[in-house]
Amino acid sequence: MPTTFLRRARAAVLVTAVVAGSLALSAAPASASGKTSAGGDYAVTVNGTTYDPAAGRSTKLDGITPTGRIAVRGVNNGFDIDVATLGVYDYTLTGAPDTQRMVTKPTTVFASKVPTLTSAQLSGATIKSLEIKDDTLVVLFGTSAGKFKIQAKDGAQGGIFQMESEFGAPVEFVHTLAPGVFYFVNQFTGKVNFGDGVDAVPSGTGAHQMLLGKDSPQVATKTFQSGTVTKWLVQSGGRLGGVLGEDAIELSAGATNCTSQCQAQNRIRGSLPVPSNPTDPTPIG
């Protein structure tokens, strides 16, 4: 996987001067306020075919039954989706050149983000709709028991990922961090963040000098927390997102308790105080 990311990152350096204006901060899902200065560009591989629409154009798929993992590869991040679990695996930051990057080489942040679904809930899973446009992806899965949506943005940081379940009952989501990344209590905010405790980006070349993030729940209750795993019980129509960088440590009140048409109005765009980066963070437990 890192080889693929490096190849796309090198290509991005060559084309940035030409396409940055058309790619940077293009229209995104309501949940995905990704920050990047050099632009993003997702390519998605389904059943052996790669879809990577030209700048400003979109590709839409529907009614497809995946026969294996769906590979999502971007300039700034990428991951795999396994239709067998509807889980996301190997969520990785590429470290591509960008003023907002927090790493300088491919770094896997999450080993997995998996909803705990029964075989009945997973039965008949298909892609009801999938749309790629520049640096955004929205994919909706349908099963015999409900729906599951994944939204992502190819940004270096910000609110760039979320999963939503709609099965008429709560669903447990399990987040497992990759080796070297851990959950810790931020000394300045008292809230739980995740990161690697490493100042990876030289001073003056990035907005942050260490990898920082947080889980972003809405209508969800945390049921377990360790240094590497969190478990959330997400109500039907609720969501569990991921936020990276400055947005992960700003002093916000958190999302409101709603399940419909609420993400956009809950977004906060840099209007809140941002404390210092934590020093010497210690894994929980």
Which segments of the chain are extended strands (E)?
Answer: 33-35, 43-46, 49-51, 58-61, 70-73, 77-82, 87-93, 107-116, 126-133, 136-142, 147-153, 157-166, 171-177, 182-185, 192-199, 210-225, 229-244
Per-residue pLDDT tens over the stretch 54-69: 999 999 999 999 999 9
Class of domain 2-266: mainly beta
pLDDT of residue 24: 28
| Gap between the Cα atoms of 167 and 116, Å rounded | 12
**68/100 Cα distance (integer angstroms):** 33
Q: Which residues of the chain have pLDDT under 70?
A: 1-33, 199-209, 251-280
User: Rounded to whole angstroms, how far apart are CA atoms 15 and 95?
Assistant: 16
Residue 281 pLDDT? 79
Q: What is the pLDDT of residue 38?
A: 87
Residue type, 94: T
Bridge partner list, 16: none
Contacts 24+ apart (CB under 8 A), 253-256: 255/216, 255/217, 255/218, 256/218
pLDDT, position 23: 27
In the block, which residue shows the tokens 């931020």?
186
pLDDT per position as a tens digit, 68-120: 999 999 999 999 999 999 999 999 999 999 989 999 999 999 999 999 999 99
For 213, the token pair is 């993030």
